[in-house]
Amino acid sequence: MAGCWARPSGVRWLSGLLVSVTMVAAVSGLIGLLEPHVPVLSLLVLYLLAVLPVAIVWGPGLAVVTSILGTAVFAYLFLPPIHSIRVPDSRELAAMGVFLVTAVVVGELAARSRRVALEGARLSQEQSALRRVATLVARGVGPDLVFGAVAEEAGALFHTDATAMWRFEPDGQATLLGAHRWLAQPELGTRINLEPQGAVVSVRETGRAARVDVDDPSSARMPAIARAEGLSSVAASPIVVDGRLWGTVSTGSRRGRLSPGTESRLADFTELVANAIANAPGAGRADRVAGAHRRHRRPDPAPHRARPARRRPAAAGLAGAAAARGAGSRATRAG
């Protein structure tokens, strides 16, 4: 997560600055109307009306800018000598200093309250998504539905354009287990060769969350499957089962770059998804379904062709990893 003093992006910063200037001008107009009736120095506090909304929407950095701008405009328009920011009166200078400190503190508190509220809403959304995934597992539905739900919930949480759940295979390929909002509508169970670039292969090599951002979706920095989907930003996070790297969830955007910190949030989500599936009451049921599915799988096609993977669901592996050590070894053989 970005720090509380992280600078907004260029366009966002400029829009915040424009709002700041507009609100300072509006408050100055209000002070001009009240000045004949109220001691002018007591009206300085009204600039908090400009500081607070800027702090909430754009953060404490621009709130500080708004505080300084408001103080300077107040000195220029309302304190003698008029039309000068020089303040010879020590009492007025002290009052302006107190206001600046107060405005900075209030702006920081307002921005922090906003962050806490957003974080609470995000956690609530994640927990709701996890409950829906755990409910599917507990009901003993097919693994395709479980993995499809994981991909769909991740895409909805991060407001992305294409999401997928992959299982890493011992031969270096990856098997598609769930997909959401893909243009190509790939068949579940399809195996792909991992190219030497991209977020998914980075997860395979490092075991850590990764992301790739490009300006041109056709860039060679993106793997072919991402280029075909027109993705310009992709994040991926590892799924770890029984201490072993098992697979990944990837999500991407066709509309510019993903939000900062998406890969970290995705890592939190995939960890919680694994726990939800592992600890669901229907874990044993999922294992039995998985076993039956493996017993009735079709024979492999010719070995020289890249082939769809056998549908050996990871739900069984994830559930078994928490339910029993024996199931953990079955997940290892299936992965």
Largest separation between any pair of C-alpha atoms in the chain: 91
Average pLDDT over every residue of 176-183 = 89
9 — pLDDT class (breaks 50, 70, 90)? low
CA distance linking residue 209 with residue 234, whole number of Å: 11
pLDDT of 329 over the 50 cut: no
CA distance linking residue 331 with residue 195, whole number of Å: 25
What is the residue-averaged pLDDT of the chain?
78
CA distance linking residue 294 with residue 48, whole number of Å: 66
Asked whether the bond before 80 is cis by omega within 30 degrees of 0, the reply is no
Contact 147, 293 (CB under 8 A): no
CA dihedral 91, 95, 100, 101 (to 10 degrees): 100
Average pLDDT over every residue of 14-43 = 92
pLDDT of 29 over the 50 cut: yes
Contact 249, 156 (CB under 8 A): no
The helix (run of H) or strand (run of E) holding residue 113 is: helix 90-138
In the prediction, which pLDDT does 214 show?
92
CA distance linking residue 79 with residue 257, whole number of Å: 47
State pTM to two decimals: 0.57
Q: Which residues contact residue 131 at a Cβ distance below 8 angstroms, ignoring those fewer than 6 apart? A: 276
In the prediction, which pLDDT does 278 show?
58
Contact 1, 118 (CB under 8 A): no
Q: Which residues contact residue 55 at a Cβ distance below 8 angstroms, ignoring those fewer than 6 apart? A: 62, 63, 66, 106, 107, 108, 110, 111, 114
CA distance linking residue 231 with residue 184, whole number of Å: 13
Tens-place pLDDT, residues 117-168: 878 887 788 788 878 887 887 787 777 788 888 888 888 888 899 999 999 9
Token reading at 197: 């670039």
Tens-place pLDDT, residues 287-322: 333 333 333 334 343 333 333 333 334 344 433 333
CA distance linking residue 73 with residue 21, whole number of Å: 10
Alpha-carbon torsion 259, 173, 246, 189, what sign? positive
Contact 195, 224 (CB under 8 A): yes
The helix (run of H) or strand (run of E) holding residue 144 is: helix 143-158
In the prediction, which pLDDT does 276 show?
61
Contact 2, 261 (CB under 8 A): yes
208 — pLDDT class (breaks 50, 70, 90)? very high
Tens-place pLDDT, residues 52-67: 999 999 988 999 999 9
- Please give the full DSSP string across 192-219, using - where no structure is assigned: EEPPSSSHHHHHHHHSS-EEEE-SSTT-
Helix axes 10-34, 60-78, angle to 10 degrees: 30
Helix (H, G, I), strand (E, B) or coil at 176: strand
Helix (H, G, I), strand (E, B) or coil at 81: coil
Domains and CATH numbers, the chain: 10-117 (no CATH), 141-297+306-320 (3.30.450.40)
Number of residues assigned to the chain: 335
Contact 87, 79 (CB under 8 A): yes
